[in-house]
Amino acid sequence: MKSKALRELYEKGIRILGESESRKILEEYGIPCPKTVVIGYEEGKRAEEYLKELKRSSDWPGYPLFLKIISPDIIHKSDAGVVKRVTSDDEALAAIETIIKNAKKYKAGVRINGILASQDVSSPEARELLLGAVYNEHFGHLISLGIGGVLVEVYKDVEFRAIPITESDVYSMVSRLRGRAILGPFRGMRPINMNALIDAALKLSRMIEENPEIREIDINPFIIGPERGFAVDARMRVE
């Protein structure tokens, strides 16, 4: 376990890492993540105060951005109405009140740990991919690359390769996806930046090699356009 961030969490007994915990490890390995700020939740604190604290941070991403509730109890955040995209201070204030209200409605005794503001890295040219890894008892750790988003298990359009992977493995994985055309130029969109995808996949491969305790990880979506790629949401399980 080479990752300092992972070791810290591991020593606290944490085995399932959510989005904000996973990103610490991804960032340690140079996998780009959207800029985010987290403010701890306090009962009774006003929306204006949260926003002031968020904006004071050096990581404040600027608008547009997503506001989310951090809670270990809420897995599917969009369904629970605890994620809002906002483009101004006014929208942000309203959204903070709404997502706190929705989180409390989610279930009795729900744990709310904080409020997260994260950069909206989507763009008209962005595509959603899945990047991940899983331990396989025969072949050891595998890297996955496929068509991401909420329909990932419908399309099942994912390729696997054993670690360590190479640049040509990434090309080969992409070329074998049924949906590979969406990565190239289509409907006026420029092709994705393959180098950014290769860079992230190779960094993920190294991260898994150096931290074999990671048994599963999903980066879904990995949002990538003609210029940059971002690990927008990630979860992992450690043993």
Interface residue list for other proteins (CB under 8 A): 16, 130, 132-140, 142, 144, 146, 152-153, 156, 158-162, 165, 167-169, 171-176, 180-181, 183-184, 191, 194, 215-218, 220, 235-237
Compare residues 81 and 149 and give the one whose CB is closer to other proteins: 149
Compare residues 115 and 174 and give the one whose CB is closer to other proteins: 174
Q: Which residues contact 148 (CB under 8 A, 6 or more apart)?
A: 128, 129, 130, 131, 220, 221, 222
In angstroms, give the least distance from the CB of 124 to other proteins.
Answer: 20
In angstroms, give the least distance from the CB of 131 to other proteins.
Answer: 9
Residue 70 buriedness (CB in 10 A; 0-12 / 13-18 / 19+): buried
In angstroms, give the least distance from the CB of 179 to other proteins.
Answer: 12
Compare residues 60 and 135 and give the one whose CB is closer to other proteins: 135
In angstroms, give the least distance from the CB of 139 to other proteins.
Answer: 4
Token pair of 4, please? 């300092």
Q: Torsion-angle region of residue 26: left (phi > 0), alpha (psi -120 to 50) or beta?
A: alpha
According to DSSP, the β-strands at 127-136 and 214-224 are antiparallel
Compare residues 120 and 216 and give the one whose CB is closer to other proteins: 216
Helices 89-106 and 47-56 pack at an angle, to 10 degrees, of 120
